[in-house]
Chains A and B, each alone.
Chain A
Amino acid sequence: MKTKTTADKIISYSVLILMVALILYPLMAIFLSAFKTMSDFMGNPLGIPKTFTVDNFVYAWSKMHFGTYTANSVLVSSLTVALVCVLGAMAGYKLSFNFKGNKLIFTFFLAGMAVPVQSYIITLFQFMKKMKLLSSYPGLILVYTAINLPFAIFIFSSFFKTVPRELSEAAQVDGCSEMRTFAQILIPISKPTLATVVIVTMMNVWNDFFVQMIINMDQKKYTLPMGLLKFRSETSVNWTPLFASIILVALPVAIVFVLLQKQFIKGLTNGAVKG
C-alpha cells in the first residue's frame, strides 16, 4: 500500500476522535448519572456527580436478580440464534434454486418482516395458551425464531445464489449427500453471512422486551430487559437506578463483544475469502 500522507492521517484520526466524542458524551452522562443521588440528578443531569454514590448500583443489583436474568437471556438468545442460523441457512439454500413455487414461498417469508409484533400479539397469545406454551422457554424460543427467520432466509438465499453450482455439483458427483455438501462445504464459505445473521438475531432477541412481556408471565424466566422495568413506577421513572442497571446489563455484552470481535475477524478471514 502506498504510504499515507500526514494530511490523510490527521483528517482520519480527527474524524474518528470527533465521532468517539460524540458517542461518548451522552454515554458518559448516563454513566456518571448512575453515580448520582436523585437530588444531584435533578439539579445536574449531565455533569459530574457532586457526591459519588454506589447506592444506585446496590439497589439495582438487589432488585434485578441479575444472575437469573442474564442466564435466561443467554439461554433464550443463543438457542434462538442457533435455530435461526440452522433453519434459515437450510431454507435459504433451498430457495436459491429455481423451482415452481419458489417465488411464492419466498414472498411468504418476506411478508413476515413487514408485520409488527404488536398487531398479532393477541392472537399469538391465545394460540400459545391453547398449546400450553405460555411462559415457557420453548415457546419463547419458537416465537423469536419465527420472528427472525425471514431476514435470515433472505440473506442466506441471496448469498447462496452467488455460489457457483459447480462447487456443490462436484461434491455430489463424488458421492456426497446433499446434506453433507451443505454442511461441510457451503456453510464454511458463508461465514460472513453467518456472522451477520448471528449479530442481527442476537441483538434482536437480547434487547427484546415486548414479546417477553406479553408471552412470559413467569418471573423466574425473565430476561434482562424485563429487569430494567423494575425502575418504572406508576407515575415516573427511577432514572438513577435505571442507569445503574443499564450499565450492569451492558457491561457483559460489551466485554463479550470486545472478545468476540477478534475471534470474528479471525474466523471470517480464514475461510471466507471468495477465490
Chain B
Amino acid sequence: MKCKGLVSLLLAGVMVASLAGCGTTVEDNTSTPKAAAPSDTKAESEGTSQEEIEEAKAEVTVTGEVTMVTTGIEYEEIMNAIKEDLPGVEFTWEQQGSSTFENAYKTRLAAGAEGMDIFTPARADYPVLASAGQLLDITGETYLDNYTDGVISSAEIDGKVYGIPITANCYIVWYNKDAFEQCGLTQPTTFDELEADCAVLKENGIVPLVAYPKSGAEQLAAFFFHDLLSKNPQWLDQLKTGEAKWTDEEAVAALAKLEEWVDNGYILDGSLSLDDTQAYQAFYQGQAAMLHNGTWSIDKIAEAEPEFSYGVFPYLAKEGTTNRAQYCPGNIWTIAAESSDVEAAKAVFNWISQPENAQLYCRTAKQFGTVKGISFDFHEAAEDITPFYEMDKTKMMHAYLTPYAKSELATQVQRLIAKDETQTTAEKAALALQIAQDNDNKN
C-alpha cells in the first residue's frame, strides 16, 4: 500500500491549500484556531462580524469531551487537526464495524446516549430518530450557512435541521475507454445511445456491464429507473402516498428494461454473487466494459487505478428527458440530544463546516463534500465528476425508498437477473413490489 506516500502527499496538499486557499489568513496554526478565523467565515456566511468574533472567542475556550461514532475509519489527519484547533476538546473518534454499527448506536441511545455525542445514523433511521427527539436540533446555527444550497434543506425534518450531511453522493458509471474506442464508441450522453453502445460491445465479444446485486441491487434498479426519476423527481415521494405505484406503466417498463438487458446478456454472468469490491475487480480485470456505482466508490479507483484508460458518466436518461443527477447526502453527522457535552460537540460541527477543514476531510476520506467553495481535487476522476453535482437533482433511489419496498426491490432485482431459474417477469416483480410498498404505506 502506498499509504505512507499518500499521507505525506495529503499533508503537503493541505499545507499548500491552506497557504493558497480561499481567502484564509491562517499560516501559524497555534495562535488563531482555524475554526474561528474571522476572514474566511465572513466570506462564506451572512452573520455579522461581531457575532463571528464572539463565537471565535468562545470557541478558543470551549472544553469538553466529544466522542464521535461512525462506520468510517478514524482519519488521523482529521483528529490531529481537531486537536490543534480545539485544544480544550478531548475528541475521540470511535469506529464501529459496519454489520454492528446500527446495533451500537441504538444500544447507546437506549441508555441515554451513553458514550456517544456525535454519530452518523443510517439514512433510514435519521427521520425516525429526529421525530423521536433523539437528535439535537441545530436549526439556525451559523455554520450551517457554509453549505451549498439544498444540502441543509435536504436534512430538514418538519422544517428543523437535526444533522449536517458532510458528504454528498450521486450515481455514476465507470467505463473502459480503451474497450469503447476499440469498438469505435464514444461516451454516451443518453440512455438510448448507451443501449446502442451495448449492442456494439456485445457484438465485439465484450460484456457491457458488471453489477453487484449481492449488496447493491437497488442501485442497479436505479440505473433503469433513472429516466422515470429524471422526468418526475417526486416519484419516490408519490410512492409513499399511493399516487404512484410500482405497477404503473413506466415503472413496469423500467423493470422490463432490466429484464431485456439480462436476456440480451448485457449484464455479466456471475454478477449475482459479487459485492462491490468484487465487481470492481471484474471491471479492473477487463471482464466488463462498464461498472455502475456511486461517487463514494472513487476511493477504489484512487487506490487501484486500472491499467486501461477509463472515464466516467452519470446515470443517463432517455433522449428527450432532461437528465438529472440522482443525489443524496452521504453521512449525516448528528448530535445525540442527550449528549453530555453539547457545546463541545457543536464546536466540532463548526470546525468541520469551515472550508479548509472540509477540504481536508474530502481529501483524506476521498469523498465529495458539501461545503461551499471546496474543490474536489483529490483525484483526476473527481474533477470529471464535479460537474455532475451541478446538474439538477432528483432523489437517489436506494436512499429514499421505504424499508419493505427497498428490501423487496433488492429481492426482485436478484430474481429478475436469475430469471432462468426463477421464471419471474417484470409484471410479477412489480406486483410484489407494490405489496411491499402498501405494507410500508400503512405504517
- CB of B103 within 8 A of CB of A233, answer no
Across the interface, do B103 and A41 meet the contact criterion of CB distance under 8 Å?
no
Q: Is the CB of B115 within 8 A of A234?
A: no
Chain A window 54-79, contacts with chain B (Cβ cutoff 8 Å), 1 for yes, 0 for no: 01101100000000000000000000
If A38-B1, A239-B277 touch, does A213 touch B111 (CB 8 Å cutoff)?
Answer: no
- Closest Cβ of chain B: how far from A75's Cβ, in Å? 21
Q: How far is the CB of A66 from chain B (nearest CB, A)?
A: 17
Q: Is A193 an interface residue (CB 8 A)?
A: no
Within B1-28, the residues touching A (CB, 8 Å) are 1-4
B246 is an interface residue with CB less than 8 A from chain A: no
Residues of B within 8 A of A42 (CB): 280-281, 284-285, 300, 304, 306
Does any Cβ of B come within 8 Å of A179's Cβ?
no
Residues of B within 8 A of A237 (CB): 277
B296 at the interface (CB under 8 A from A): yes
B1 touches A59 (CB 8 A): yes
Q: Do B103 and A59 have beta carbons less than 8 Å apart?
A: no
Q: For residue A124, which residue of chain B has the nearest CB?
A: B107
Interface residue B41 (Cβ < 8 Å from any Cβ of A) = no
With the chains together, A122 CA to B104 CA distance in Å? 9
User: B73–A233 contact, CB under 8 A?
Assistant: yes
Task: Assess whether B428 is interfacial by the CB under 8 Å rule.
Answer: no
Inter-chain CA distance A214–B95, complex, in Å, is: 11
In the bound complex, what is the Cα–Cα distance between A275 and B306 (angstroms)?
68
Q: How far is the CA of A53 from the CA of B5 in the complex (A)?
A: 14
Q: A-facing mask of B83-107, CB < 8 A → 1, else 0? A: 0000000001011111010011011
- Is B114 part of the contact surface with A, judged by Cβ < 8 Å? yes
Residue B323 lies at the interface, judged by CB distance under 8 Å to chain A: no
Contact of B304 with A41 in the complex, beta carbons under 8 Å:
yes
Cα-based distance from A39 to B305 in the complex (angstroms)? 7
- A235 CA to B70 CA, complexed, in Å: 12
| Chain A residues whose CB sits within 8 angstroms of the CB of B197 once the complex forms | none
The answer to whether B100 touches A214, judged by C-beta atoms less than 8 angstroms apart, is yes
Asked whether A53 and B96 contact (CB < 8 A) given A43-B284, A235-B299, the answer is no
- Assess the B277–A129 pair: CB atoms within 8 A: no
A45 contacts across to B, CB distance below 8 A: 281
Question: Do A233 and B299 touch (CB < 8 A)?
Answer: yes
Q: Does B276 contact A (CB under 8 A)?
A: yes
Answer whether residue A217 sits at the interface, using C-beta atoms and an 8 A cutoff: yes
Q: Knowing A41-B304, A214-B104 are in contact, say whether A55-B4 is a contact too (CB < 8 A).
A: yes
Closest to B92 in A: A219
| Chain A, 71-113, CB within 8 A of any chain B CB | none
Q: Is the CB of A214 within 8 A of B103?
A: yes
Contact with B along A202-238 (1 / 0, CB 8 A): 0000000110011001010000000001111111110
In the assembled complex, the CB of A115 is this many whole angstroms from the nearest CB of chain B, namely 16
- Chain B residues whose CB sits within 8 angstroms of the CB of A231 once the complex forms: 73
Question: In the assembly, what is the distance between CA of A234 and CA of B104, in Å?
Answer: 15
A240 at interface, CB cutoff 8 A = yes
Task: Say yes or no for A150: interface residue by CB 8 A criterion.
Answer: no
Contact of B111 among A39, A56, A59, A126 (CB under 8 A): A126
Q: Is B350 an interface residue (CB 8 A)?
A: no
Kindly list chain B residues whose C-beta atoms are within 8 Å of the C-beta of A56: 1
Which B residues are in CB contact (< 8 Å) with A39? 284, 303-305
Q: Tell me if A137 counts as interface (CB < 8 A to partner B).
A: no
| A233: B residues at CB distance < 8 A | 71-73, 299, 365
Taken residue by residue from 211 to 247, chain B's Cβ proximity to chain A (1 for < 8 Å, 0 otherwise) reads as 0000000000000000000000000000000000000
Which A residues touch B96, using CB under 8 A?
213, 229
**Given B115, B299, B305, which contacts A217 in the complex, CB threshold below 8 Å?**
B115
How far is B106's CA from A233's CA once the two chains are assembled, in angstroms?
Answer: 20
Q: Contact flags (1/0) for B251-292 with A, using CB distance below 8 Å?
A: 000000000000000000000000011001100110000000
Taking the complex as formed, is A31 at the interface, i.e. its CB lies under 8 A from any CB of chain B?
Answer: no
**Distance in angstroms between the alpha carbons of A55 and B4 in the assembled complex:** 8
Q: At the interface, yes or no: A118 with Cβ under 8 Å from chain B? A: yes
Q: Are A125 and B107 in contact (CB under 8 A)?
A: yes
A158 contacts chain B at the CB level, 8 A cutoff: no
- In the complex, whether A153 has a CB less than 8 A from a CB of chain B is no
**A-B CB proximity, top 10 nearest:** A234-B72, A39-B304, A217-B115, A38-B304, A42-B284, A235-B296, A229-B97, A42-B304, A55-B1, A38-B303
Can you name 7 A-B pairs with beta carbons within 8 Å? A43-B304, A53-B1, A59-B1, A210-B100, A214-B107, A232-B97, A234-B367
Q: A42-B306, A233-B299 are in contact. List 9 more A-B contacts (CB 8 A).
A: A39-B305, A122-B106, A122-B110, A213-B96, A213-B104, A230-B73, A234-B365, A234-B367, A236-B276
* B-to-A contact residues, CB < 8 Å: 1-4, 67, 70-73, 92, 94-98, 100, 103-104, 106-108, 110-112, 114-115, 276-277, 280-281, 284-285, 296-297, 299-300, 303-307, 331, 365, 367
